[in-house]
Structure 1
Amino acid sequence: MILRPMAWFFLAHVSFPNLSTVMFYYQTEFLNLEASFLGTARVVGWLGLMLGTFVYNQYLKKMKLRRILMWSQLGLAFLTLLDIVLVFRVNLTFGISDRIMVLCGSALSDAINQFKFMPFLILSGQLCPPGIEGTLFALFMSINNLGSMLGSFVGAGLASVLSISSGSFGNLLLGIVIQVLCIFIPIAFLFLIPKEATGISA
């Protein structure tokens, strides 16, 4: 009962090659965005987290968790496609600056990730046997953090295979396309999430 949903959240991290470090170098070296501006983008991202929490509590907590997680994955796929727009420089064709793209992408991606994390916390409470709440919550968070760390390793491995590094962004577009494809992998395993689970009752 506990292993299946936790396996899904672990898979959602591990199957996604995290290229955030490469994108940081691309944004600072190729797009010439200041590191201070990217720090501001992270602040906007935190505002996105709060927005995601508000939207979830107001409108989504009665929705089936499987549906929320599916739409979250699709939303992340869409936002990753925005990175392709940024790399292709299509945004400039429509008069949208790189700064706006980065700010909006940061806020929206953090908001959508909150849509995934809230069900994670809810399932932790729903599945926890009485008396071991602290231990089980620590286990769930450890699994989540381990998956995130391994996702970063997978991303580093992908960047290495594609020879993407600081000053070498020739295959960055291919790396982002692989990212988009990998986002759909966890959707095929949503059967691991309890079918009737919502934000109110399991």
Structure 2
Amino acid sequence: LEKELKHLSKEQIQQKSAVEENLKATQKQLKQSIAYAVGIFTICGLFFLIIFIPFLQVISWGTLALIPITGNTFPTQMACILLGNLGASFTEVVSDALVAEFSKAQKEGMLQSYAFMALAAGGILGNLSGGIVLLRSQQPKVMFLTFALLLIVQLGLSLTAREDTFNLPSNSNLCRRHYSVSESLSKQFSNLITIVNEETLYHPLSWIVASIAVVPLLSGTIFCFQTHCLKLDPAVIGLSKVIGQLMVLSATFVYNHYMKRIHFRKLVFWLQIIYALSLLSDLCLVNQINIKLGISNEAFVLCLSALAEAVAQFKILPFSVLFASLCPPGYEGSLFAFFASALCLSSILGGIFGVGLASLIGVTSGDYSRLSVGIILQFVAALIPLGWISYLPAMQTSGKVIKRSKKGLGMG
């Protein structure tokens, strides 16, 4: 891979980066489009999705492991990646819905914390094992094949599992009354709008979405700066992602034991402050302040490069706990599908603003002299959501669970 990369010009590398960014945006838009549909399926066909998800990804990664890597197979590769991302999107929404539903019978926030810990642990193991396989074999196909085999094991376990072991609700109104597809969609959409319009949900949902959307994301620009200007080994940047997941795992553990006692608004306030300050770590790297302090670029990137991303990921946990406690029984899938879609939309907007900001201040592949200005503006933008933090509930349990009967909520 390194030999192949040496033969690529900067323009070709930029074109590949642009294609990857477009694919990520397409993935998020696709996820946004199908997320609500997942909310429908979680009512009548959640067990079906548990089997269908690994099947999608087995096809995707198995095909990538078997087809030759040539220019002629590029469309097939892109289709496989999109298919795999589709399965990952289903996984995220379904897992959120399951966690939200079963968390009502558990201590508040406990199940969400465990889910975040599992997600972080999976990220750590996945990044480490993938990196080790790639470094030793120098063949991405080996990693794809290994992943496909693991998914086959998951598919086998899903096929042998009994549906009643999940204790899934079987008396859904949608299933019992045999509504047509159009009627089901209409009623489910109507109920979703009713739930989201409740102030107890609308205000925190609007805040978390806006807090992500208003911050221009410069992660792609920072990555190019680290690789092109600082000549950092991509393995160092990849390992920093592992450190970031360790941060999420540690923060989730602390939240589960201590932070839940903190008032919700106060907790989110300080998380946003920490997130804004963590963005300034890139400013130290760009201005090489770390070198003046005797800290190498590699060590600095390993320790702090993924801090902002880790804080942004962890910030979602308190909101997930809040929404799970407020959501009426039976509508967890729809609400969390909408929540995931809203987060994806806000991330897309943040990415668009980031590209626009980089172009506006004149940051190019050969000139990063004004990147510091972009980071400072990014820091200021991260503080803007604090202006309307009063819309958040003061306490985690300050709101009551929305009743089905309120404002006509229900399937009739």
Equivalent residues of 2:207, 2:389 under 8 A apart:
yes
Aligned match of 1:140: 339
The CA deviation string for residues 34-87 of structure 1, in whole angstroms up to 9 with x for no partner, is 122211111221222211211211210111121111111111222122211111
Identity of aligned residues (%): 38
Distance in 2 of aligned mates of 1:136 and 1:29: 42
User: Residue 122 of structure 1: which of 311, 318, 321 is its match?
Assistant: 321
Aligned residue pairs: how many? Answer: 201
Distance in 2 of aligned mates of 1:95 and 1:183: 29
The code of the aligned residue for 2:360 comes to V
Distance in 2 of aligned mates of 1:127 and 1:28: 45
The code of the aligned residue for 2:381 comes to C
Is 1:16–2:203 an aligned residue pair?
no
Distance in 1 of aligned mates of 2:253 and 2:355: 33
- Cα deviation for residue 198 of structure 1 reads 5.5
Is 1:186–2:382 an aligned residue pair?
no
Distance in 1 of aligned mates of 2:260 and 2:395: 13
User: Residue 68 of structure 1: which of 267, 273, 290 is its match?
Assistant: 267
Aligned match of 1:45: 244
- Cα deviation for residue 127 of structure 1 reads 2.1
- Three-state SS of the structure 2 residue aligned to 1:61 is helix
Distance in 2 of aligned mates of 1:198 and 1:84: 38
- Cα deviation for residue 117 of structure 1 reads 1.2
Unpaired stretches in structure 2, ≥5 consecutive residues: 1-198, 402-412
- Cα gap change, 1:23 to 1:13, in 2 (>3 Å): same
Distance in 2 of aligned mates of 1:16 and 1:198: 28
User: Residue 34 of structure 1: which of 215, 233, 250 is its match?
Assistant: 233
The code of the aligned residue for 2:341 comes to S
The CA deviation string for residues 100-153 of structure 1, in whole angstroms up to 9 with x for no partner, is 211121353344224411112112202212221111111111111111121111
Distance in 1 of aligned mates of 2:326 and 2:365: 44
Distance in 2 of aligned mates of 1:18 and 1:174: 13
Aligned match of 1:163: 362
Equivalent residues of 1:162, 1:175 under 8 A apart:
yes
- Cα deviation for residue 9 of structure 1 reads 0.6
Equivalent residues of 2:282, 2:305 under 8 A apart:
no
Unpaired stretches in structure 1, ≥5 consecutive residues: none
Distance in 1 of aligned mates of 2:307 and 2:389: 23
Matches within 5 A, 1:88-127: 88-127=287-326
Equivalent residues of 1:17, 1:152 under 8 A apart:
yes
Aligned match of 1:55: 254
List structure 1 runs of 4+ shifted beyond 6 angstroms. Answer: none
User: Residue 3 of structure 1: which of 183, 202, 210 is its match?
Assistant: 202
Distance in 2 of aligned mates of 1:115 and 1:23: 21
Equivalent residues of 2:325, 2:397 under 8 A apart:
no
Distance in 1 of aligned mates of 2:294 and 2:396: 44
- Three-state SS of the structure 2 residue aligned to 1:130 is coil
Is 1:83–2:276 an aligned residue pair?
no
Aligned match of 1:197: 396
Equivalent residues of 2:216, 2:378 under 8 A apart:
yes
The code of the aligned residue for 1:139 comes to F
- Three-state SS of the structure 2 residue aligned to 1:166 is coil
Equivalent residues of 2:251, 2:314 under 8 A apart:
yes
Distance in 2 of aligned mates of 1:36 and 1:28: 11
Question: Which structure: larger Rg?
Answer: 2
Equivalent residues of 1:68, 1:115 under 8 A apart:
no
Aligned match of 2:351: 152
